[in-house]
């Protein structure tokens, strides 16, 4: 089994840099080097990015364009560290830090509320119909864990389920239920009703990632077990299962009638969503442990860069070397967005050429430096929202 640091980069969780899994709580940290310029201006947006990789299909696709030459509109530091991909619902941003869930106003980043949910919560939360869902792991006897539901308005905890489980994968809520993956030492996956009642529970494999849920199927990559499994959302029974070459620690994506999934050997597969039949497979230049973003192309984050493959036949469109391991990509109409070490990077969808990058800051805690974009950047109405391991949340726009 991989290290905890490596594992936090999986499961629909963070792309972690540094000290993930250690609990500092609040800290007073200094900066290292010249800080990025912050304009302290408001942003105006109206939209939603409700969960990991945007929606229940995990496809990582957002409508509209990315900014063309952004700068930092605002930066806020909620005195936490190790942030996951933020989610957005209207005028609110929700960010999971190690041990806390924080709500910020998207206009200026002001903090609305904070909830201490457990020892560690390093996966992207999800918001659905006025409730924010968060998974919590590494709980001891006196530290609650499992799947937590809180009121989106004020952070009041509504219920907690699967309290015997360390759950690391981001939750996938739909109108029907909340679907949950596994964890570092936990092979259970589950469907939980919106009132906290467990509908069903299955053992699939350690590291089972955030499921893609579409058309009465919950599609899981089973991590250590090296397979992709589609379960009936109502009963949890297996509809189909497909073995692959290596560990499947990246969350699968569904687009149309296809499931796209990658394994740690660098093999990307397109499967039929109804039967699990393989349509094609292709190999990229390095290990894959981040979700693939998919529409008419599959953009794959791998060791050191990104590769775009045609969805229809798997042909390689382009490869870009980033000299860093990127986060799971997010696709807009015109760009591919990733985090790469301390930078937020936008590439042209057509050929992978770099369009812009914005650096985030490094912060110190005693003799330790914390930095890095730890979850995918998201875009709402031309504003990029991103969080870092240093504990900062940024809004970037064209001004």
What's 264's domain CATH number? 2.130.10.10
d(CA 299, CA 120): 30
Burial call 233-257: b when 16+ CB within 10 Å, e when fewer: beebeebbebebeebbbbbbbbbee
Q: Taking the mean position of all CA atoms in its chain, how far away is CA 69?
A: 25
Per-residue tens of pLDDT for the chain, all 399 residues: 333 334 444 444 443 322 233 444 444 445 555 567 888 899 988 899 999 999 999 999 999 999 999 999 999 998 777 888 999 999 999 999 887 899 999 999 999 999 988 766 678 999 999 999 999 887 666 677 889 999 999 999 999 998 888 888 999 999 999 999 988 777 889 999 999 999 999 998 778 889 999 999 999 999 888 899 999 999 999 999 999 988 898 999 999 999 999 999 999 999 999 999 999 999 999 999 999 999 999 999 999 999 999 999 999 999 999 999 999 999 999 999 999 999 999 999 999 999 999 999 998 877 788 899 989 999 999 999 999 999 999 999 998
- Residue 368: count other Cβ atoms within 10 Å of its Cβ: 13
Domain range for 326 is: 4-397
* CA dihedral for 54, 395, 319, 316, sign (positive or negative): positive
CB atoms within 10 A of CB 296: 11
The candidate with the shortest Cα–Cα distance to 125, out of 138, 114, 141, is: 114
Q: How many folded domains does the chain comprise? A: 1
What is the phi/psi pair of residue 4, to 5°? -65, -35
Q: What sign results for the dihedral spanned by CA atoms 59, 374, 209, 292?
A: positive
**Neighbouring C-alpha atoms within 13 Å toward the C-beta of 25:** 2
pLDDT for 21: 38
CA 185 – CA 149 distance, rounded (Å): 22
* Cα–Cα–Cα angle for 176, 229, 339, rounded to 5 degrees: 80
The pLDDT, as a whole number, for residue 31 is 53
């Amino acid at each position: 089994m991989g290290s905890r640091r490596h594992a936090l980069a999986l499961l629909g969780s963070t792309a972690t840099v540094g000290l993930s899994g250690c609990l500092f709580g609040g800290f007073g940290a200094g900066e290292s080097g010249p800080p990025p310029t912050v304009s302290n201006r408001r942003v105006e947006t109206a939209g939603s990015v409700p969960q990991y990789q945007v929606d229940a299909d995990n496809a990582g696709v957002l409508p509209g364009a990315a900014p063309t030459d952004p700068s930092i509109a605002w930066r806020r530091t909620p005195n936490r560290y190790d942030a996951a991909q933020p989610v957005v619902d209207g005028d609110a941003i929700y960010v999971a830090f190690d041990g806390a869930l924080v709500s910020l106003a998207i206009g200026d980043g002001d903090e609305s509320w904070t909830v201490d949910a457990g020892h560690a919560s390093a996966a992207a939360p999800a918001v659905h119909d006025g409730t924010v869902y968060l998974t919590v792991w590494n709980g001891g006897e006196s530290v609650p864990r499992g799947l937590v539901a809180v009121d989106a308005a004020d952070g009041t905890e509504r219920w907690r389920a699967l309290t015997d489980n360390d759950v690391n994968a981001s939750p996938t809520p739909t109108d029907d239920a909340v679907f949950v993956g596994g964890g570092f030492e936990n092979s259970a996956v589950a469907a939980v009703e919106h009132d906290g009642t467990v509908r069903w529970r299955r053992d699939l494999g350690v590291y089972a990632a955030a499921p893609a849920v579409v058309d009465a199927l919950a599609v899981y990559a089973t991590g250590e077990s090296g397979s992709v499994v589609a379960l009936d959302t109502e009963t949890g029974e297996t509809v189909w299962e497909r073995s692959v070459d290596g560990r499947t620690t990246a969350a699968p994506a569904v687009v149309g009638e296809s499931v796209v999934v990658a394994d740690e050997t660098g093999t990307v597969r397109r499967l039929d969503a109804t039967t699990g039949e393989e349509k094609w497979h292709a190999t990229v230049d390095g290990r894959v442990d981040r979700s693939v973003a998919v529409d008419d192309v599959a953009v794959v984050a791998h060791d050191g860069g990104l590769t775009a493959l045609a969805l229809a036949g798997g042909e390689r469109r382009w490869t870009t070397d980033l000299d860093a391991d990127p986060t799971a990509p997010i696709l807009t109409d015109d760009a591919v967005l990733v985090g790469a070490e301390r930078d937020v990077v936008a590439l042209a969808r057509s050929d992978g050429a770099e369009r812009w990058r914005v650096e985030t800051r490094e912060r110190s805690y005693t003799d330790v430096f914390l930095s890095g974009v730890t979850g995918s950047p998201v875009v709402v109405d031309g504003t990029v929202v991103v969080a870092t391991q240093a504990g900062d949340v940024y809004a970037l726009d064209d001004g």
